[in-house]
């Protein structure tokens, strides 16, 4: 990922994202072709930028399924960094994300069952009933 995009992600600057996309409309596609990668969604999850995450996930939904070099998806990282708004946003876009298998076959549902977020856990169970 180039420095301009990385800076936009860390700052949560959606306008800078679109400026970058205007100059290079395939930048997200190139990132998507890399099998194991820290995508802009991973970086935004760590930085706690839910609005930016939702914008990128809307533009390139497949990035939400990617694992990074530590074996985690963006939703796993959002849970680890207690960015519940981001988790809710991602499962709104695709409820199946609660079953993304990270390193050790741990899903966001497994992870969430271990932390104290009963309301979000209930939302995950509702998602499960919708998905299946």
pLDDT of residue 23: 95
Lowest mean pLDDT among 31-40, 59-68, 90-99, 117-126: 117-126
pLDDT tens figures, 77-107: 999 998 889 988 998 899 889 889 999 998 8
pLDDT tens figures, 26-41: 999 999 999 999 999 9
pLDDT of residue 130: 62
Contact 57, 50 (CB under 8 A): no
Q: How far apart are CA 36 and CA 32, in angstroms?
A: 9
Give burial (CB, 10 Å; 0-12/13-18/19+) of 104. exposed
CATH number of 3-131: 1.25.40.20
The residues pairing with 77 across neighbouring beta strands, listed in sequence order, are none
Q: In 10 A of CB 79, how many CB atoms?
A: 22
Q: For all residues of the chain together, what is the average pLDDT? A: 89
Q: How far apart are CA 123 and CA 88, in angstroms?
A: 9
Nearest Cα to Cα of residue 38 among 14, 60, 71: 71
pLDDT of residue 129: 65
Percent of the chain with pLDDT over 70: 92
Give the predicted TM-score (pTM) of the model.
0.86
Contact 117, 108 (CB under 8 A): no
Lowest mean pLDDT among 25-29, 55-59, 122-126: 122-126
């Amino acid at each position: 990922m180039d420095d301009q995009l990385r800076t936009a992600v860390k700052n949560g600057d959606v306008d800078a994202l679109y400026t970058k996309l205007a100059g290079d409309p395939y930048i997200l596609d190139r990132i998507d072709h890399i099998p194991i990668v820290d995508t802009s969604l991973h970086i935004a999850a760590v930085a706690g930028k839910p609005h930016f995450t939702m914008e990128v996930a809307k533009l390139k939904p497949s990035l939400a399924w990617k694992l990074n070099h530590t074996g985690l998806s963006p939703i796993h990282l959002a849970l680890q960094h207690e960015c519940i708004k981001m988790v809710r946003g991602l499962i709104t876009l695709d409820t199946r994300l609660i079953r993304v298998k990270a390193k050790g076959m741990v899903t966001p549902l497994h992870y969430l069952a271990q932390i104290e977020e009963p309301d979000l856990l209930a939302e995950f169970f509702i998602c499960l009933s919708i998905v299946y």
